[in-house]
Amino acid sequence: MATSPSLTGGEKRHWWLTNRKDARGLIATQEQSEIGSALNLLDAALALSPRLEVALELKARTLLCLRRFKDVADMLQDYIPSLKMAADDSSSLSPPTTPPSTCQESESIFCPKVVMAGLCKNCDKEGQWRYLVLGQACCHLGLMEDAMLLLQTGKRLATAAFRRESICWSDDSFSISEFPISGDTTSISDQPPSPQKTESESISQLLSHIKLLRRRKTAAIAALDAGLYSEAIRHFSKIVDGRRGAPQAFLAECYMYRATAYRSAGRIAESIADCNRTLALDPTSIEALSTRASLFETIRCLPDSLHDLEHLKLLYNSILRDRKLPGPAWKRHNVRYREIPGKLCSLAAKNSTTEAESYVRRNWKCRLLCSDWVEKGVFAIGIGESPFIAHIAAQAR
């Protein structure tokens, strides 16, 4: 790994100019090992100058090439609109049991637009790459609303910068290939031919795909709100079974919504299957665990329900221990941290009742005990009255 030498003044600049060309050459090979070496050079440069704009841009684009989307989000998380809104409004996404309406979603999009407008007021040409790179990373992480806002803002800033630059051009020099990467001052020969056009096309295609997924999700949620469960299931199935695919986090959310639609339609087996798919994509999904535990209890699979409740209890305890919800700061959850203590208390009571019912079902001798309790008029056994235990007692008669 490249280490940053102890340099000062002009030596730093000479070292950076030399290593920048090396990093660009390594990135241009499009080979994973070479791109990793370029990342080491960029880390060394940022150790010398943490706010060096060109090095920051190259590092972010390198991480994007390596598909390290979480690292890009961690690096540029101050520009994620939903995190900007967290200081004023800590509300998270509504759980699938009470899915948001289309109107509510449009309001949630409007607020980040106001935040992005504030961010862009002082945004110069040197910072526009953040929105494009971070928008692509957010899309792959399933943050579709953030990705759409960031990519649209980045395109708007790039267009405005292009318009300002083109005013000073003559007809002979009017060529998009003459633009270097934002903030860079290297000669044109050092850069790959016409990278801007390729990036613009890919971003336009990505934006159209994001809008398509969001339209389908909005239609599915509207059908779920209206009680049209078959229609909601059809729309969500188009998303999860789509030919082009979608990010894992977005798929997990859609699977959870479809599980709710299946449950409302009385299709318990399909609902449990979608909960399983959600947990395969996101093992820390609180909503999927609690929903599956409730479904198992409905079909009297009490040992499986107990297993999910115990898993949920461990997850709540780890959240309280770490004093934060699982995952990075930009990850979305359908619960707030302050709700966890209350959920843990209610979970403990439910766990005790379910465990008692499971014990009664497993032990045939309890039927004999129930008959004795019926004869003696005893109906409470120290764990609270339960409709299931009353049913066993009635059978014991």
Domain of 304, CATH number, reads: 1.20.58
* Contact assessment for residue 373 and residue 351, using Cβ atoms and an 8 Å cutoff: no
Question: For the chain, what is the domain count?
Answer: 4
Domain check: are 151 and 252 in the same one?
yes
Q: Looking at the domain assignment, is residue 190 inside a domain?
A: no
Q: Let me know whether 87 and 222 are in one domain.
A: yes
**Is 272 within the bounds of a domain?**
no
The amino acid present at 193, given as its one-letter code, is P
Report CA 150 to chain centroid distance, whole Å: 15
Does residue 357 fall inside a structural domain? yes
Domain check: are 146 and 94 in the same one? yes
Helix (H) / strand (E) containing 73? helix 69-75
174 lies in some domain: no
Per-residue pLDDT of the chain (397 residues), as tens digits, is 455 455 454 555 555 556 666 677 667 766 777 777 778 888 888 887 788 888 888 899 989 988 999 999 999 988 888 887 765 555 444 444 444 444 444 444 445 555 555 555 545 545 788 999 999 999 999 999 999 999 999 888 878 777 777 776 665 554 545 444 444 544 444 555 544 456 788 888 999 999 999 999 999 999 999 999 999 999 999 999 988 889 999 999 999 999 999 999 999 999 999 999 999 999 999 999 999 999 998 898 888 888 888 888 888 888 888 888 888 888 887 777 677 777 667 666 665 666 566 555 555 555 555 555 555 454 444 444 455 555 555 554 4
Q: Does residue 157 share a domain with residue 19?
A: no
- Do 112 and 201 share a structural domain? yes
Judge contact between 56 and 129, C-beta under 8 A: no
Same domain, 103 and 79: yes
CB within 8 A of 134, min separation 6: which ones?
A: 60, 72, 73, 76, 79, 80, 150
Residues 73 and 62 in one domain: no
**Domain span including residue 303:** 283-361
Residue 185 lies in a domain: no
| Domain co-membership, 127 together with 12 | no
User: Is 181 a member of any domain?
Assistant: no
User: Would residue 71 count as lying in a domain?
Assistant: yes
> In this structure, are 7 and 80 located in the same domain?
no
Residues 86 and 211 in one domain: yes
Whether 186 is in a domain gets the answer: no
- Examine the domain organization and report whether 303 and 344 are in the same domain: yes
Query: Helical H runs in 95-228?
Result: 102-120, 129-140, 144-167, 195-225
Which pTM value belongs to this model? Answer: 0.71
Q: Do 295 and 271 touch, CB atoms closer than 8 A?
A: yes
* One domain, residues 221 and 316: no
